[in-house]
Amino acid sequence: ETPVGSVIEGLENAKEFYSYGDMPPWGKGPVQGKIHGHPEYIENEFPLTDKFVECHVQRLGGKAVDPEEERMARELEEEAPDQRSSE
């Protein structure tokens, strides 16, 4: 369980989300390994689970990063230092 944001408006709605509880053996929720890449598992076995249909992210401070530019920058960083200095 990793928080990825915070609710700044409408928390009363978020408190009403349906949940089956924690994953086994602590609760009756879904098994984590079965979720990834298998949406039908949640839809068939946990039909009452609420889900996000749409989500908007607004970056506060900093600048938005283009994923392709970020990937290219990482590739450049991984090159050997002598290769970069010879360009």
Sign of CA dihedral 7, 9, 12, 18: negative
Residue 39 makes CB contacts below 8 A (sequence gap 6+) with: none
pLDDT at 83 over 60: no
Confidence of residue 2 (pLDDT cuts 50, 70, 90): low
Confidence of residue 10 (pLDDT cuts 50, 70, 90): confident
* pTM attached to this predicted model: 0.49
Confidence of residue 1 (pLDDT cuts 50, 70, 90): low
Residue 37 makes CB contacts below 8 A (sequence gap 6+) with: none
Q: pLDDT tens digit string along 18-34?
A: 888 888 889 899 888 88
Q: Alpha carbon 80 to chain centroid distance?
A: 32
Alpha-carbon distance 71 to 56, whole Å?
A: 22
